[in-house]
């Protein structure tokens, strides 16, 4: 069955959307939910109906032109899809789920979005208020469960509180350091009527999402940079979240500073930019890691010094003055003591910094990175990207995808070896084209996130690179891809192993491969069952044509590539060790 | 170094806020030794006074995590000499004990007072620092102490300005205002930071 590319939703004309919020209207709480979402500019919802949210779904039935609902196959899939959507479109992702198991299925996605600062609003149905606390059918304490993994959550038991709660939810989710928010609405509040009026929220007395820039801190940072001999920029997710890619590149160019990226910062700076030196962290590039302890001024922008970046903190960046530009005050001095803390939005801070930073060149310093690159190329990259013999390598598949899409496609990766390989070798061109689960490392993330990413940017190609283990965690979403005609390209890098765990078992557990080998199904047959065409490739001779075929195909396509069974990802900083101990083999 | 600290948190009045604050301590394996909460002089704003035994550095980070919560205005960690504080204890003692002249002296010496007397028991009240209250409990034990109940800490921060001045400022600065975070030490106070 032939599939079409998913079409972008055509939002209704502005006047019609405005009419949806015309006040006052005596309507049910459920209709108020939908009208509130429309007032917030929501066009897409990922969800799954059930008893406690049925009135909301009933109201949705009358707004099918205004709001596009995508029926997923599991609520976890809805959350990851909303994440993919949010990260490509820049809007807040929206999820519907019912009470009890529907709500508990959101937990992983909420935790993932919380760790990776993704704006998301989850609306859950709840049993009627008079049943709360009685262990009623499908009742669960979703507020208690999600408290530590949401930026904010609230339970609404009266219809008149719905518009205010949703307005606050969107304001909180999307402002400051973004994050997921959950609104739990009891069934009685969904069915009772009230006079609806919607006002967007832009102020909460106890919440200060936008810090006021401290000019003294910026001046102190500029002075450090102007006097630095070996300055070094770390580009984190915050750069993308605040849309500061341009300012970051301008700063790097003006002051001649090398830029390295965190996993979630990837795609903020084009890989081929002359100031870009690579990807940081446990399996990042050799040069950016090893040079961290060589710089004299470190400018960390919108990143939080995750342990996967720092390794042993006691031997990390001790020689340098650290400038930390960060919107979330709680992140400053959490792991690394900042000599200059700039508590601000990345874009605001970089704009101010640009004015004070003097033009400079640090060619010799930059050249040091290029020298270190050669070692990595010799010992690792060449063999990975252009192997002459043996089984197919993950890296060569990623290279072919990167070449075929010119690095312009949105790359969605799952978690494990394939994620690290794809992040290392895909040559990102445009911002927000790297969608992955960083902080949480959620297996099963990529397939649903790719659906959301495609819906968020229908004009772009979206390629999901997934491991065989990860794919089997959320493969039910193939059903969503088929039903909603979402044209994602799915590449399974199949090594019949939980590769990353196997690698650790090999290196640190005497090759005792405990429960990591997988006997896999025929993935192409599974895709066929969902009416998604596909192909399986085992030989090097067939891979280029297969990638071409996949990229030329209109609509969703699954390519299974059988890769080297026991391959390892290098370089590697062994867990908990200093970054100086980075291994190339 | 581990010692007792007082953490004060100014919050909006919202169901579940206690839970949200406690979870942050739980996650780092810190036991809350006492917790008192009540509305402040500003309607709708509550003050939590939490005592914990921990390290300063850890608590400064925790306070940052608490301040990140949406309904929190400010949070601080204080050394013992930065707050004026009291706790309250009630002691239920068998009335028979009053026949012993020593107990009257004990009550006077410890500035305790009798709240109520029945045929079977009487109730003493004393305010003071934790150790004083515990000491009195030990002294009363031989007289037939039936029940003992102690409150959490109530504290006034020595260097604080009235909190509602701060709130007023926030309201005036709307929308571009700032929770001026003090990064290194929440307890080192400069003139600018004196407004809570």
B183:A338 CB<8 A: yes
Q: Is a pLDDT exceeding 50 seen at residue B185?
A: no
pLDDT for B188: 38
B186 pLDDT band (50/70/90 cuts)?
very low
pLDDT for A91: 98
Where is mean pLDDT largest: A238-242, A575-579, B170-174? A238-242
The two tokens of residue B194 are 């004196």
pLDDT for B41: 81
Q: Which residues is A493 bridged to in the sheet?
A: A467, A561
> Among residues of chain A, what percentage have pLDDT more than 70?
96
User: Using an 8 Å Cβ cutoff, are A211 and A344 in contact?
Assistant: yes
pLDDT digits (tens, 9 = 90+) for B40-93: 888 888 999 999 999 999 999 999 999 999 999 999 999 999 999 999 999 999
- Helix residue ranges, H only, A489-552: 499-508, 523-529, 540-552
- Residues of chain A contacting residue B178, judged by C-beta atoms under 8 Å apart: 208, 211-212
Q: Is a pLDDT exceeding 50 seen at residue B191?
A: no
CB-CB neighbours of B49 under 10 Å: 22
CATH class of the structural domain B3-78+159-194: alpha beta
In whole angstroms, give the CA distance from residue A317 to residue A437: 26
Q: Is a pLDDT exceeding 90 seen at residue A4?
A: no
Which of B11, B20, B170 comes nearest A147 by C-beta? Answer: B20
pLDDT for A20: 59
pLDDT digits (tens, 9 = 90+) for A149-207: 999 999 999 999 999 999 999 999 999 999 999 999 999 999 999 999 999 999 998 99
Provide the residue ranges of all domains of chain B, joining segments of one domain with +.
3-78+159-194, 84-150
On the CB side of A237, CA atoms within 13 Å amount to 24
B23:A143 CB<8 A: no
pLDDT for B54: 96
A205:B61 CB<8 A: no
The two tokens of residue A365 are 């310093």
Mean pLDDT calculated for residue range A14-38: 79
pLDDT digits (tens, 9 = 90+) for A342-359: 999 999 999 999 999 999
pLDDT for B161: 65
Q: Is a pLDDT exceeding 80 seen at residue A51?
A: yes
pLDDT for B98: 87
Strand order in the sheet with A152-156: A68-71, A44-47, A93-97, A120-126, A180-186, A152-156
pLDDT for A224: 98
In whole angstroms, give the CA distance from residue B196 to residue B152: 22
Best of B68, B76, B190 to substitute, by most chain A Cβ atoms within 10 angstroms, is: B68
The two tokens of residue A557 are 């396509």
Q: Does A202 touch chain B (CB under 8 A)?
A: yes
Rg of chain A, C-alpha, whole Å: 24
What DSSP designation does A219 have? H
In whole angstroms, give the CA distance from residue A551 to residue A543: 12
The two tokens of residue B75 are 């949070």
Q: Is a pLDDT exceeding 90 seen at residue A25?
A: no
> Among residues of chain B, what percentage have pLDDT more than 70?
82
Residue B189 neighbours by CB under 8 Å, 6+ apart: B159
* DSSP per-residue codes, chain B: --EEEEEEEEEE--TTHHHHHHHHHHHTT--EEEEEEEE-SSTTEEEEEEEEEE-HHHHHHHHHHHHTSTTEEEEEEE-GGGEEEEEEEEEEEEGGGGGSHHHHHHHHHTT-EEEEE-SSEEEEEEEE-HHHHHHHHHHHGGGTEEEEEE---EEEETTPPPHHHHHHHHHHHTTS-------S-SS---SGGG--
Q: Is a pLDDT exceeding 90 seen at residue A246?
A: yes
A265-274, B66-75, B179-188, range with the lowest pLDDT:
B179-188
Measured in angstroms, the CA of B54 and the nearest CA of chain A are apart by 17
Mean pLDDT calculated for residue range A452-461: 98
Mean pLDDT calculated for residue range A387-408: 97
Q: Is a pLDDT exceeding 70 seen at residue B196?
A: no
B84-150 CATH choice from 2.40.50.40, 3.30.70.1150, 2.40.50.360, 2.40.40.20: 3.30.70.1150
Torsion of CA B31, B35, B40, B44, to 10 degrees: 70
Mean pLDDT calculated for residue range A546-573: 97
Mean pLDDT calculated for residue range A439-452: 98
Measure Cα distances from A350 to A113, A259, A496 in Å: 25, 14, 46
User: Using an 8 Å Cβ cutoff, are B153 and B6 in contact?
Assistant: yes
CA nearest B167 in A: which residue?
A205
pLDDT for A247: 98
The two tokens of residue A160 are 């008149």
What DSSP designation does A577 have? S
Measured in angstroms, the CA of A404 and the nearest CA of chain B are apart by 44
- DSSP SS3 for A482: helix
If you search the block for the tokens 């919802």, which residue do you land on?
Answer: A45
pLDDT digits (tens, 9 = 90+) for A87-124: 999 999 999 999 999 999 999 999 999 999 999 999 99
CB-CB neighbours of B105 under 10 Å: 10
Q: Is a pLDDT exceeding 80 seen at residue B177?
A: no
A343:B181 CB<8 A: yes
Measured in angstroms, the CA of A10 and the nearest CA of chain B are apart by 34
Q: What is the mean pLDDT of chain A?
A: 95
The two tokens of residue B57 are 């550095």
The two tokens of residue A329 are 């005050």
B20:A341 CB<8 A: no
Answer yes or no: same fold for B3-78+159-194 and B84-150: yes
Three-class secondary structure assignment of A50-87? CHHHHHHHHHHHHHCCCCEEEECCCHHHHHHHHHHHHH
Dihedral sign for Cα atoms in the order A172, A176, A178, A179: negative
- The alpha carbon of A349 is separated from its chain's Cα centroid by a whole number of angstroms, namely 23
- Helix residue ranges, H only, A210-306: 215-226, 237-241, 245-255, 286-290
A97-101, A119-123, A387-391, A482-486, range with the lowest pLDDT:
A387-391
In whole angstroms, give the CA distance from residue A245 to residue A248: 5
Q: Is a pLDDT exceeding 80 seen at residue A68?
A: yes
């Amino acid at each position: 069955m032939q599939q079409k590319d998913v079409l972008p939703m055509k939002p209704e004309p502005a006047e019609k959307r405005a009419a949806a919020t015309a006040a006052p209207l005596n309507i049910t709480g459920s209709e108020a939910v939908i009208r509130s979402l429309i007032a917030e500019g929501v066009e897409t919802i990922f969800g799954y109906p059930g008893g406690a949210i049925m009135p909301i779904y009933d109201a949705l039935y009358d707004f099918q032109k205004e709001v596009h609902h995508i029926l997923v196959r599991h609520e976890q899939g809805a959350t990851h899809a909303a994440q993919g959507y949010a990260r490509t479109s820049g809007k807040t992702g929206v999820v519907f789920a019912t009470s009890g198991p529907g709500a508990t299925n959101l937990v992983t996605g909420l935790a993932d979005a919380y760790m990776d600062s993704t704006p998301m609003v989850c609306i859950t149905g709840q049993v009627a208020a008079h049943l709360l606390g009685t262990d009623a059918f499908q009742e669960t304490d979703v507020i208690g469960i999600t408290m530590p993994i949401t930026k904010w959550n609230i339970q609404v038991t009266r219809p008149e509180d719905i518009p205010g709660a949703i307005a606050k939810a969107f304001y909180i989710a999307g402002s400051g350091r973004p994050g997921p928010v959950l609104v739990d609405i009891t069934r009685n509040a969904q069915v009772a009527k009230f006079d609806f009026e919607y006002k967007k929220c832009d102020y909460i007395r106890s919440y200060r999402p936008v810090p006021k820039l401290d000019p003294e801190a910026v001046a102190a940072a500029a002075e450090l940079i102007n006097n630095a001999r070996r300055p070094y920029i770390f580009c984190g997710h915050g750069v993308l979240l605040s849309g500061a890619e341009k300012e970051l590149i301008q700063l790097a160019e003006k002051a001649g500073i090398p830029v390295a990226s965190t996993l979630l910062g990837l795609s903020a700076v084009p890989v081929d930019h002359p100031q870009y030196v690579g990807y940081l962290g446990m399996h990042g590039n050799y040069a950016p890691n090893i040079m961290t302890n060589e710089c004299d001024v470190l400018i960390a922008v919108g990143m939080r010094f995750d342990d996967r970046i720092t390794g042993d903190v006691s031997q990390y960046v001790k020689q340098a003055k650290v400038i930390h530009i960060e919107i979330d005050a709680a992140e400053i001095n959490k792991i690394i003591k900042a000599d200059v803390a700039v508590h601000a939005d990345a874009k605001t801070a970089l704009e101010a910094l640009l004015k004070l930073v003097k033009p400079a060149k640090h060619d010799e310093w930059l050249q040091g990175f290029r020298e270190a690159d050669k070692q990595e190329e010799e010992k690792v990259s060449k063999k990975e990207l252009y192997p002459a013999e043996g089984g197919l390598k993950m890296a060569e598949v990623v290279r072919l995808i990167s070449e075929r899409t010119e690095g312009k496609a949105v790359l969605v990766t799952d978690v494990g070896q394939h994620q690290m390989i794809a992040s290392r070798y895909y040559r990102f061109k445009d911002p927000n084209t790297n969608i992955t689960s960083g902080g949480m490392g959620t297996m099963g993330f990529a397939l649903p996130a790719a659906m959301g990413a495609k819906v968020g940017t229908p004009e772009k190609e979206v390629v999901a690179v997934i491991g065989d283990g990860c794919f089997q965690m959320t493969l039910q979403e193939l059903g969503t891809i088929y039903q909603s005609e979402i044209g994602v390209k799915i590449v399974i890098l199949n090594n019949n192993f939980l590769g990353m765990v196997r690698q650790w078992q090999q290196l640190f557990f005497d090759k005792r491969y405990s429960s990591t080998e997988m006997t896999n199904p025929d993935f192409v047959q599974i895709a066929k069952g969902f009416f998604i065409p596909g192909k399986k490739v085992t030989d090097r001779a067939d891979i280029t044509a297969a990638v071409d075929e996949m990229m030329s195909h209109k609509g969703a396509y699954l390519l299974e590539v059988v890769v080297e069974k026991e391959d390892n990802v290098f370089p590697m900083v062994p867990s908990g060790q200093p970054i100086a101990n980075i291994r190339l083999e | 170094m581990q010692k007792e600290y007082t953490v004060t948190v100014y919050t909006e009045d919202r169901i579940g806020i206690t839970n949200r604050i406690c979870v942050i301590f739980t996650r780092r394996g810190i036991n809350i030794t006492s917790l008192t909460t009540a509305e402040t002089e500003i309607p709708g704003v509550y003050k939590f006074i939490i005592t914990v035994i921990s390290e300063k550095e850890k608590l400064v980070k925790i306070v940052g995590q608490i301040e990140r919560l949406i309904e929190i205005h400010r949070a601080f960690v204080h050394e013992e000499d930065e707050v004026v504080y009291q706790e309250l204890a009630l002691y239920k003692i068998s009335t028979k004990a009053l026949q012993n002249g020593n107990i009257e002296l004990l009550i006077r010496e410890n500035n305790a007072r009798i709240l109520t007397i029945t045929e079977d028991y009487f109730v003493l009240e004393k305010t003071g620092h934790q150790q004083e209250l515990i000491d009195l409990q030990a002294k009363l034990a031989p007289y037939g102490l039936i029940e003992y109940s102690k409150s959490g800490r109530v504290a006034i921060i020595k260097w604080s300005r009235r909190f509602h001045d701060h709130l007023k400022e926030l309201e005036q600065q709307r929308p571009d205002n700032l929770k001026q975070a003090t990064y290194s030490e929440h307890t080192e106070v400069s003139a600018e930071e004196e407004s809570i």
